[in-house]
Amino acid sequence: MSVFSTLGSALSQAADVIAPLFGASATAAAIVLFTLCVRAALHPLARAAARGEKARAAHAPRLAALRQKYAKDPERLREATAALYAETGTSPLAGCLPALLQLPVFFLMYHLFTDDGSGLLGHTLLGAPLGGHWSQALADGGPFGAHGLVYLALFALAAAVAFWNYRRARTTMARSAGEGTAVDGAVPGLGGMLKVMPLLSFGTLISVAVLPLAAALYLVTTTAWTACERALLHRDGGVDRTRAEGAGTRARTAG
């Protein structure tokens, strides 16, 4: 049995169990529950990534000192910064791992709801086919038709999450810039990429418009989890405390 058949059977069985609660939208609810289970399994990696962010904030003064010391020697700066990350056990790319591990799951979900042989294309969310697209909903009844309203709800949720992530990312970028974090010293071009990353949050809106409804539902659910997870992991102000500790270190060094 292929992995596609296994996942399809699991979704169907889950939908059968919760059908008394969700009726014809049970498969859509099963997708949400499946997404939440995947993210819960990846939560330890997210916690590790959050600890890495705090550790990098604590070592920001040392990174800034390296940038100043080797300002005219980019190669030496890269080597020294990479050595610092190795010494402290941190990485500027550590936070990408949870997202990368979700890609196979997303691919499976996309395949299930684009393959006629999966037996899942006929399932719906409030009447909108899980294998359908926004363009079909527009053709059936326009943006305010029965199917169009399902997509409008997803767009609204995706926009709210994207704006939240954008605000947090911009705040983090401003904080890193104020601390002089030398991200380019470890990975060439990473600094420029990080400047663009806050805008990528709004890419979810494009995905909802072009992906099958099932895949869009998975994507919106996982991005909403990410926003809540980051707010939870950083709710104690740990990053702010590490910044204060770093400022204290700089003051003692200057003294």
Per-residue pLDDT tens for 69-90?
777 777 777 777 777 777 766 6
Q: Please compute the mean of the pLDDT values over residues 153-178 and round it to a whole number.
A: 79
- Give tens-digit pLDDT for 56-67: 666 677 777 877
State the total domains in the chain.
Answer: 1
Q: CB-based contacts of 116: which residues, under 8 Å, 6+ apart?
A: none
CB 181 within 8 A of CB 63: yes
Judged against a pLDDT cut of 60, whether residue 177 lies above it is answered with no
Phi-psi sector, 226: left (phi>0), alpha (psi -120 to 50), beta:
alpha
Rounded to an integer, what distance in angstroms lies between the CA atom of residue 173 and that of residue 11?
A: 39
Judged against a pLDDT cut of 60, whether residue 97 lies above it is answered with yes
pLDDT above 70 as % of the chain: 73
pLDDT of residue 229: 87
Question: How many Cβ atoms from other residues are within 10 Å of residue 252's Cβ?
Answer: 8
Closest CA to 30 of 40, 41, 22: 22
pLDDT of residue 18: 93
Question: How many Cβ atoms from other residues are within 10 Å of residue 183's Cβ?
Answer: 20
User: How far apart, in Å, are the Cα atoms of 182 and each of 54, 95, 186, 188?
Assistant: 15, 17, 7, 10
- Measured torsion, CA atoms of residues 22, 24, 29, 34, in degrees rounded to the nearest 10: 130
Strand blocks (E) in the chain = 124-125, 128-129
pLDDT of residue 172: 65
Token representation of residue 183: 């991200």
Token representation of residue 205: 């809106």
Name the residue range of residue 154's domain.
Answer: 3-254
pLDDT above 90 as % of the chain: 23
Q: Please compute the mean of the pLDDT values over residues 215-226 and round it to a whole number.
A: 91
pLDDT of residue 176: 55
Judged against a pLDDT cut of 80, whether residue 190 lies above it is answered with no
Q: Return the higher-pLDDT residue of 155 and 105.
A: 155
Token representation of residue 26: 């049970």
> What's CA 53's distance to the chain center, in Å?
15
Token representation of residue 210: 């072009």
User: How far apart, in Å, are the Cα atoms of 163 and each of 168, 192, 229?
Assistant: 9, 21, 15
